[in-house]
Structure 1
């Protein structure tokens, strides 16, 4: 088939590794366990499918959507940075900013977005599109989606293996890391926005 003429295992592995690093589902395990304790249940299937579809959809129409609503990629990334910042504050300070009382399970928000298919992940798919063929990026997204599903499905097992005290320590450490990521995401994209307006 013509769609598979650009199929490349090397490109798939490269795209998979890049997305794996950006999604960082392993580093998000403390968050997942925390959400499991907070909500009581994580809808692994729904979260994984929605996250995967978001990434694939954004690969093809990301720029068009942002242009249509008059938002550039840098502004989109900054908005994502604020969301990550709030999640990090919750983890570090042990406070609740988001309201979870109406939800019976964690799935689309905040797992599918912004934890998995967040601003960083979605903008990364656009960056990959400039260097690699779409079919290989899609396979890279699918591989990461499957791995994410396996991690989310293991939430109960992870919760049992990680003790309460250990979880609190790890949660605060990763909260600080998330905070640093949000600040880096904000400053990098703000600098680009500022440079754009200055040149304009």
Structure 2
């Protein structure tokens, strides 16, 4: 039983890459209070789990019904990430009273779903891996491996505030801009992979 679980857990862990998601989470949630970061982390983990589970159970049927491919997800996700990262890179610092709080709160609420849940956590690699494992192994192993991976993600992201306190505001802001640039590069990579995938016969 443990052997089958590991055979499902390890490929999903590599595809999801929990440690690699932390920098993007820090960049996207910079300046938010700790309770709100935990809420976003919980929403992102739950969203990614439900979408990945849906793909494991009937991803091919859903895609065929909608006339979509995994590469369409890759391109759409890449565009979303690119817009978000470029917006963050070009955004000037504002005083709190100058910010549009209603728009800011709306953006914060949606961060857990898009882009963190989809496509940062539940990206093309995760969805494809979940779909492939469900066809080659027992479903219980895939579901339990997905659940454990998402719990690890939540545990890691919900404690990101400690890292922010260690780095300080100035260093945290600088690191956030660097990671926004990396996020833009990954977005371009997702778009590129999606186009190459669609062009394959």
After the TM superposition, which residues 22-37 of structure 1 pair with which residues of structure 2 at under 5 Å, given as runs?
22-37=15-30
2:127 maps to which residue?
122
Over 3 Å counting, the alpha-carbon distance change for 1:11 and 1:92 in structure 2 is farther
* Greater displacement, 108-117 / 172-181: 172-181
2:13 maps to which residue?
20
In structure 2, stretches of 5+ residues that fail to align are: 94-102
Q: In 1, distance between residues paired with 2:125 and 2:92?
A: 25
Q: Does 1:141 align with 2:146?
A: yes
Cα offset, 1:130, TM superposition:
4.0
Deviations 1:122-149, CA, capped at 9 Å, x for gaps = 2332233344332222121111111111
Question: Which of 52, 67, 89 pairs up with 1:55?
Answer: 52
Q: In 2, distance between residues paired with 1:171 and 1:20?
A: 24
Over 3 Å counting, the alpha-carbon distance change for 1:18 and 1:64 in structure 2 is same
After the TM superposition, which residues 31-180 of structure 1 pair with which residues of structure 2 at under 5 Å, given as runs?
31-40=24-33, 41-42=36-37, 43=39, 44-94=41-91, 100-103=104-107, 105=109, 106-180=111-185
* Greater displacement, 67-76 / 104-113: 104-113
1:190 maps to which residue?
195
**For the Cα contact (< 8 Å) 2:27–2:180, is it kept in 1?**
no
In structure 1, stretches of 5+ residues that fail to align are: 1-6
**For the Cα contact (< 8 Å) 2:82–2:183, is it kept in 1?**
yes
Over 3 Å counting, the alpha-carbon distance change for 1:31 and 1:180 in structure 2 is closer
Over 3 Å counting, the alpha-carbon distance change for 1:12 and 1:174 in structure 2 is farther
TM-score (normalizing by structure 1): 0.76
Cα offset, 1:78, TM superposition:
1.7
SS at 2:200's partner residue? helix
Q: Alignment length, in residue pairs?
A: 187
Q: In 2, distance between residues paired with 1:102 and 1:131?
A: 41
SS at 1:22's partner residue? helix
TM-score (normalizing by structure 2): 0.76
**Which one has the bigger helix percentage?**
2
